[in-house]
Chains A and B, each alone.
Chain A
Amino acid sequence: MTAIELPAAPSRWRNISLPWTVPAGAAIVLFWIALALLAPLVAPFDPIAQDLSVTLHPPEAGHWLGTDNFGRDVLSRLIWGTRIDLLMGFFGVLFPFIIGVTIGAVSGYAGGIVDAVLMRLLDVTISFPFFVLIIAIVATLGPGLSSFYIALALVGWVSYARLVRSQFLVLKQSDFVLAARCLGFSRVRIVFKHILPNAIMPAVVFSMSDAVLDILLGSSLSFLGLGIQPPTAEWGLMIADGKSFIATAWWISFFPGIAIIILAVGFSLLADGFAELLGAKD
């Protein structure tokens, strides 16, 4: 038998150069995660301790990002706020992801009446304006983080379900699934070992940009008074608190705004990078 040369030392990403966006995005996101974990060590002040002798001080030595109208240190509040905002991004994605992937997989694989019923449910959900529906659910359940997660789980799954369903529709007809059937594997095994790993990738990519949206949404809700309640430090809430002083003490709203932007850019870079990696693999 004639030997055919195998490319030397196979490794998974060998012939794919990592797009620069992946390390860049990962660095930014990791920076914020580290900051969140180390908050008690890094933050110079207690984020909710008021010191009325230093109200509305601009950025200066000691209070590097200034103080707000209660004399609270903006830098410390920003650092502690990282924890809440990252959690909102994580759990805000996690529950919709699990629900959406499950529904999408069942719908796409089963087809027929199951698919029809689940997709009508999806149609009903997306027929309401997204923000209005979230706000309505949170307002009904009462303000707070858990209401926020519940609302997102009820509404946010639709995007994941649609992505995964379309992948399942394609992949269940694919040649390698046919090949797996020819090897006599059970349906369950084919779905979990062969279809799902291939179908879930677009959902993973989407979850990165979804995390950004969820953080912005959480901040918006806090801004509206429906999310995190004062005096807890959260970026959206900080922006809301600072809005009446925007002309005289811009730093109260400005720095948390910048923080949201930087974190969002980090997630977006990651999402772009992953999308590019997947494209390169195809």
Chain B
Amino acid sequence: MALLDVQDLTVEFGTRAGTVRAVDRVSFAVDKGEIMGLVGESGSGKTVSCRAMLHLLPAWQVRRASGRAMFDGQDLLTMDDAGLRDLHGRRIGMIFQNPASHLDPLMTIGRQVAEPLIYHQGLGAKEARAEAIELLRQVGIPDPKRAADAYPHQFSGGMKQRAVIAGAVACRPDLLVADEPTTALDVTVQAQILRLLLDLRDRTGLAIILITHDLGVVASTCDAVTVMYAGRIMERAPKQELIRAPRHPYTKGIIRSQPSRAEPGRPLDSIEGQLPALTSLPEGCRFNPRCAHAIAPCRSGEIPLEPVGADHDAACIRWRELQGAAA
């Protein structure tokens, strides 16, 4: 059984323009020790899915969050806040895009890493500090003893992200939700942080949901990939399969528009147009206004996610005809 099994997760927001669906019947599963990439442009609903699941969205904003998100036999969506608080930090950790703003500026790094240990495991201040220093060492912070007494502003971005990770995994959680953890970091540091996540997974069997818009990150890290667009899943597959044989034109598009595929003298491929506003979603396939292969049936009705291979699903009615075609 999967560690986390999300079925038909739907999140609706109340806005001045009416109710909008930011996430529409999204399903995915994450196994123990698996790294699942959740890929999509900004606004595709990847962050909202995870935050809704973990009750991290402001209550006034969420009109409805339905579906099921079974974590270890319990449904996160129907759980009360107290029950969820018990899972947060202890069994589910979360890290974020901008590590600088996710650390309390007035508390030492060591104290912030030690806090969950004191809070959840009832460790004394001394033991917690020793454990925190050990954690800082494990996430690759040099001279962890001294680093423990430093304040966040004395750390570089990469170091802050390491410290945030140390705090998030302090209580040995089963699941880590990493929301664009490397987006704000420079490329060399990105690679180090990704290696650290892989290393943590290998050592502790941690399952990771890696939210990203960067296929390079997916290629180097993930086991499985779920591609989201405008609140819906477009395609999901094991990583190798997805990169070797993408079936959905959107997936093909984002693979082709990777900067690493740029060639001198030729403009980089890109997907024309932009993500539709949630208040005016197109009929049929949500990608159809930007899709070069869209035909009449793409513009109406419901486009289901259907199996296109082993463990491989795509939401495109023309995937068979388009197998050889470029995006």
Which residues 164-214 in A have Cβ within 8 Å of B in the complex?
174-176, 178-186, 189, 193-194, 197-198
What is the CA–CA distance of A8 and B136 in the complex, to the nearest angstrom? 17
Q: Which residues of B sit under 8 angstroms from A175, Cβ to Cβ?
A: 96, 98, 101-102
Most B-side CB within 10 Å, residue of A5, A7, A10: A10
Measured CB to CB, the closest approach of chain B to A3, in angstroms, equals: 4
Give Cα A282–Cα B324 distance, bound, in whole angstroms: 54
Set of chain B residues within 8 Å of A6, measured between Cβ atoms: 141-143, 146-147, 150, 154-155, 159
Q: Are A184 and B54 in contact (CB under 8 A)?
A: no
Minimum C-beta distance from A177 to chain B (A)? 8
Q: Are A176 and B103 in contact (CB under 8 A)?
A: yes
- Complex Cα distance, B151 from A6, in Å, reads 12
A194 to B111, CA, bound (A): 12
Indicate which residue in B86, B88, B104, B142 contacts A4 across the interface (CB closer than 8 Å). B142
Segment 69-122 of B: residues with Cβ below 8 Å from A = 85-90, 92-94, 96, 98, 101-107, 115-116, 119-120
Closest residue of chain A to B164, judged by CB? A179
Which of A3, A181, A189: most chain B Cβ within 10 A? A181
Query: CB < 8 Å: which of A179, A182, A194 contacts B54?
Result: A182
Contact yes or no, A1 B195, CB < 8 A? yes
Q: Is B293 an interface residue (CB 8 A)?
A: no
Which residues of A approach B to under 8 Å, CB–CB?
1-7, 9-10, 12, 14-15, 174-176, 178-186, 189, 193-194, 197-198, 281
In the assembly, what is the distance between CA of A236 and CA of B237, in Å?
Answer: 81
A178 to B164, CA, bound (A): 12
Return 14 A-B CB contacts under 8 Å, by A number.
A2-B192, A4-B141, A6-B155, A174-B101, A175-B102, A176-B103, A176-B105, A178-B56, A179-B103, A181-B56, A183-B88, A183-B115, A184-B120, A198-B106
- Residue of A whose beta carbon sits closest to that of B152: A176
| B64 interfacial by beta-carbon distance below 8 Å | no
How distant is B56 from chain A, measured CB to nearest CB, in Å? 7
B85 with A176: CB separation less than 8 A: no
User: For A7, A12, A184, A197, which residue has the most chain B Cβ atoms within 10 angstroms?
Assistant: A184
The count of residues in chain B whose C-beta lies closer than 8 Å to any C-beta of chain A is 46
Q: Flag if B88 contacts A182 (CB, 8 Å).
A: yes
Interface presence of B202 (CB below 8 A): no
Query: Assuming the A-B contacts A184-B90, A185-B115, A281-B153, are A179 and B142 also in contact, with contact meaning beta carbons closer than 8 angstroms in the complex?
Result: no
Residue of A2, A5, A10, A179 touching B151 (CB-CB under 8 A): A10
Q: How far is the CB of A101 from chain B (nearest CB, A)?
A: 16
B180–chain A nearest beta-carbon distance, Å: 13
What distance in Å separates the Cβ of A179 from its nearest Cβ neighbour in chain B? 4
**Among candidates A3, A9, A12, residue contacting B142 with C-beta atoms closer than 8 Å:** A3
Distance between Cα atoms of A198 and B153 in the complex (Å): 14
Residue of B nearest to A172 (CB): B58
> Are A184 and B116 in touch, CB under 8 angstroms?
yes
Please state if A15 and B154 are interface contacts (CB–CB under 8 Å).
Answer: yes
Q: In the complex, which residues of chain A have a beta carbon less than 8 angstroms from the beta carbon of B96? A: 175, 178-179
Q: Cβ of B158: which chain A residues have Cβ within 8 Å of it?
A: 4
Residues of B within 8 A of A (CB): 54, 56, 85-90, 92-94, 96, 98, 101-107, 115-116, 119-120, 140-143, 146-147, 149-151, 153-156, 158-159, 164, 167-168, 192, 195-196, 199
- For A186, the chain B residues whose CB sits under 8 A away are 85
How far does the Cβ of B192 sit from chain A's closest Cβ, in whole Å? Answer: 6
Q: Is the CB of A4 within 8 A of B159?
A: yes
**A12 interface neighbour in B93, B120, B140, B151, Cβ under 8 Å:** B151
Q: Provided the pairs A9-B146, A12-B151, A183-B115 are in contact, do residues A281 and B105 lie with their beta carbons within 8 angstroms?
A: yes
Additional 12 contacts, C-beta under 8 A, given A4-B158, A6-B141, A183-B116: A1-B140, A1-B192, A1-B196, A3-B142, A4-B142, A6-B146, A6-B147, A175-B101, A178-B96, A184-B86, A197-B107, A198-B106
Measured between beta carbons, the chain B residues less than 8 angstroms from A174 are 101
**A183 smallest CB distance to B (angstroms):** 4
User: For A182, what are the chain B residues with a Cβ–Cβ distance below 8 Å?
Assistant: 54, 56, 88-89, 92-94, 168
Instruction: Report yes or no: A198 in contact with B105, Cβ–Cβ below 8 A.
Output: yes
Within the complex, the shortest CB–CB distance from B206 to chain A, in Å, comes to 15
How far is the CB of B266 from the nearest CB of chain A, in Å? Answer: 34
Query: How many Å lie between the Cα of A176 and that of B154 in the bound state?
Result: 16
A176-B104, A184-B85 as given contacts; A4 in contact with B156, CB under 8 Å: yes
Q: Which chain B residue has the least Cβ–Cβ distance from A197?
A: B106
Knowing A1-B192, A6-B142, the reply to whether A183 touches B89 (Cβ < 8 A) is: yes
| Chain B residues within 8 Å of A10, by CB | 146-147, 149-151, 154
CA distance A193 to B149 in the complex (A): 17
Instruction: Point out which of A4, A175, A176, A183 has the most chain B C-beta atoms below 10 A from its C-beta.
Output: A183
Enumerate chain B residues within 8 angstroms of A194, measured Cβ to Cβ: 104, 107
